[in-house]
Amino acid sequence: MSRLLKGANKAAAIILALGEEDAAPLFERMHQDEIRDLSAAMAALGPMAPSEVEAVLAEFCETIGQPGKIFGSLASTERMLLKTLPPDQVRQIMEDLSGPAGRTMWEKLGNVNEAVLANYLKNEYPQTIAVVLSKIRPEHAARVLSLLPDRLAMEVVMRMLRMENVQKEALEGVERTLKAEFMSNLARTQARDSHEIMAEIFNNLDRASEGRIMASLEERNRESAERIRSLMFTFEDLRRLDGPGIATLLRAFDSEKLLLALKGASPELRDLFLSNMTGRASKLMRDDLAAMGPVRLKDVDVAQAALVVAAKELAAQGQITLAEARDEEMTE
């Protein structure tokens, strides 16, 4: 069944049918916004049957011979753009098309970890920080603001209160600085070991799935399985936290979820948490655990995973210190 193409999709089909050489002069006469919109349509077009191409060309009142099947993709779009546009411009267009974090630089910035963004912004002028926080989502801006030094945060708040419409030139200047100094550096530093990525994924699997997949991986590639296991930080690894670290984690975590998490914990880890509570809180928790009936393993897994996530967030903020590997347990 033929698709009903409209607008930019028709133009994309014609450009692809013309081919790279014949289409190049057309791009030279287009505005960058037009090129971006057309590129998006080309990249998303997918396969077109000859009959569909003929219908578009007939509507355009021009015959270019017998067209064959064409396929629009990111790769073919990039090749065609490189025929006529500077590489830097093509790279920016393709970055907008393929992400990873959004179409505009501000959308990309909105997906940057708040601790990373705050660490960069604390060295910027308060007015620059105010502009950035005004452009990202309020909930993200709030998290970034809370991580700035108190005096700087208050200065930023005052600038935001006094800030009227930001002039286009000033906004573009901030964008250029962020792209050149922050986003480019972030892209270079975000390359990660695939085993680290898989360790984080395994950390978020339920016990049954983790055991099943890990067992299969050990059969296929024991070395990778051991590497992933050494990088994983599980609930039981919390026993390496010191007393102040446990106390900080307890203050930041929901008591009902903690009860569920400790229900399925080893005796050693359970005692570690209980011993770092106040006497009254410890007794109440012991009584609740004793009175608690059977619970679903899935609920325990969810609570324990949430406790691990909370510990990692506190570690990222520098409030507690997590051990980096399990290898230390194997050393004499």
Supply the CATH number for residue 200's domain: 1.20.5.2020
Rg over alpha carbons for the chain, rounded to the nearest Å, is 28
Looking at the structure, tell me whether residues 120 and 198 fall in a common domain: no
The answer as to whether 2 is a domain residue is: no
Looking at the structure, tell me whether residues 15 and 78 fall in a common domain: yes
Please say which residue of 211, 232, 253 terminates a domain: 232
Looking at the structure, tell me whether residues 170 and 157 fall in a common domain: yes
Total structural domains within the chain: 4
Looking at the structure, tell me whether residues 128 and 139 fall in a common domain: yes
The answer as to whether 329 is a domain residue is: no
Top-confidence range, 46-50, 63-67, 246-250: 246-250
pLDDT at res. 6? 63
Residue 315's domain comprises 234-323
The answer as to whether 332 is a domain residue is: no
Top-confidence range, 106-115, 145-154, 231-240: 145-154
| Residue 200 to residue 194: CA distance in whole angstroms | 10
Please say which residue of 66, 98, 130 terminates a domain: 98
With tokens 């005052």, the residue in question is: 158
Top-confidence range, 180-189, 265-274, 314-323: 265-274
The answer as to whether 330 is a domain residue is: no
Looking at the structure, tell me whether residues 185 and 256 fall in a common domain: no
Residue 102: pLDDT over 50: no
Looking at the structure, tell me whether residues 75 and 122 fall in a common domain: no
Does 158 or 67 have the greater pLDDT score? Answer: 158
Read off the CATH number of the domain in which 260 is found.
1.10.220.30
Looking at the structure, tell me whether residues 196 and 165 fall in a common domain: no
Looking at the structure, tell me whether residues 40 and 75 fall in a common domain: yes
Residue 95: pLDDT over 70: no
Please say which residue of 98, 116, 148 terminates a domain: 98
Give yes or no for a contact between 123 and 115, defined as CB atoms under 8 angstroms apart: no
Per-residue pLDDT, averaged over 202-220, amounts to 82
| Residue 238 to residue 218: CA distance in whole angstroms | 25
Adjacent-strand bridge partners of 47: 71
Q: Comparing C-alpha atoms, which of 113, 77, 91, 74 is closest to residue 179? A: 91
